[in-house]
Amino acid sequence: MRIGILSDANVERLDWARQNGFGSIEWNRFAESPAGPQHANWRPFAEQFAADARSRNLRISAIGALYKNPLDPKQTDLARATFRRAIEVAAHIGVKTVAGFPGAVIELEVNPKGGNPVYKSFDQFLPQLLEFWEPLARFAAEHGIRIAFEHCPMGPYHLPIMGFNSLAQPAMWEKLFNESKCENLGLEWDASHLICQFIDPVANIHKFGSRIFHVHAKDAFINRHLLELYGICHPGVAEHRMPGLGQSNWAEIIHALLRAGYDSDLNIEGWHDPVYRDHDATPPADIKLSASNHQAGQKLETTGLLIAKRTLEQFVPPET
């Protein structure tokens, strides 16, 4: 298990990671890279980037293929092509996991007795989810690759409300895993998205640990004072933070991951923390008392990543 960062195919970013003692990356923004589906001759670039990482003793833990909505009809063809290409690239350069969003079908259900229409629940669309993903899972299995779904809700307030991720809630993971025979479908797990739904990350690992193929190391904080005043659907009640600055117990999380047989790395997902991020010089006009206003113009992302690394590395056993 190594501690790493998310990075696009950028050699300067690899240099920074190595100079600061990181051991892995997730190759993000894959779809826009020269190895993406719009480029027929992808092998030279993929091989060179893999060699660049290897020469710096950085492991590519996963390829982050696409973080949009593959089940949106306007995106489906591109999404399918992107994941197929990412699977081919992963197999070619020796990466075990391809990650991304599973997507969602979002439709209104009309009440036959009148009244306001309501959104159909995601579990009504499980057949469409399987129809898209199982052929890709079989293709991935032929190449020795796993597919890991990130469970970020992609809805307001970090909750699965009006979002576009049908696997934002563990109950849907359970339905998917029970319904599908594809054992190489699993999770790109992130504690922050559980904390924002008042789910215990450690208990979650104990239940779903065998399906955790990749980890985004990110924390979250629930402001109980704001919660009690305004409820969960209020800005600032739930916010993402760097590991070590939120409410996750990383000792217990890493202990549970190791106990479950987790075989990959902890790649820190930055840029969400309200303080430890790179702030624009001029905050939005409607921001009055937020961290973005007080830290306007400061570049704090690097500090946050290093805080996160120091938090995590106390609990990660040395490689043998």
Tell whether the model's pLDDT for residue 311 goes beyond 80. Answer: yes
The CATH number that applies at residue 246 is 3.20.20.150
Q: Is residue 290 part of a domain?
A: no
How far, CA to CA in Å, does 140 sit from each of 201, 240, 275?
28, 32, 39
> Which residue, chain included where needed, has tokens 């190595």?
18
For residue 217, give the 3-state DSSP assignment. Answer: strand
Q: Is residue 125 part of a domain?
A: yes
Tell whether the model's pLDDT for residue 287 goes beyond 50. Answer: no
Q: Which residues are within 8 A (CB) of 43 and not within 5 positions of it... i.e. 6 or more apart?
A: 92
Give me the pLDDT at residue 291, please: 54
Q: Is residue 292 part of a domain?
A: no
Q: Is residue 141 part of a domain?
A: yes
Tell whether the model's pLDDT for residue 108 goes beyond 90. Answer: no
Q: Read off the pLDDT of each residue in 134-158 and give the average, rounded to a whole number.
A: 97
Give me the pLDDT at residue 292, please: 56
Q: Is residue 23 part of a domain?
A: yes
Q: Is residue 294 part of a domain?
A: no
Tell whether the model's pLDDT for residue 43 goes beyond 70. Answer: yes
Name the residue among 24, 29, 95, 33 with its Cα closest to residue 56. Answer: 24
Count of structural domains within the chain: 1
Tell whether the model's pLDDT for residue 121 goes beyond 60. Answer: yes
Confidence of residue 117 (pLDDT cuts 50, 70, 90): confident
Task: Say if residues 89 and 35 touch (Cβ distance below 8 Å).
Answer: yes
Q: Is residue 313 part of a domain?
A: no
Which is more confidently placed, 106 or 99?
99
d(CA 91, CA 113): 53
Give me the pLDDT at residue 284, please: 59
Give me the pLDDT at residue 283, please: 63
Quote the pTM value. Answer: 0.94
Domain that holds residue 24: 3-271
Confidence of residue 112 (pLDDT cuts 50, 70, 90): confident
Q: Is residue 281 part of a domain?
A: no
How much of the chain, in percent, has pLDDT values that exceed 70? 96
Give me the pLDDT at residue 240, please: 97
Confidence of residue 296 (pLDDT cuts 50, 70, 90): confident
How far, CA to CA in Å, does 219 sit from each of 78, 191, 196, 237, 239?
31, 6, 10, 14, 9
Lowest-pLDDT range, 39-43, 114-118, 153-157, 259-263?
114-118
* Residues constituting the chain: 320
d(CA 236, CA 220): 11
Task: Say if residues 275 and 251 touch (Cβ distance below 8 Å).
Answer: no
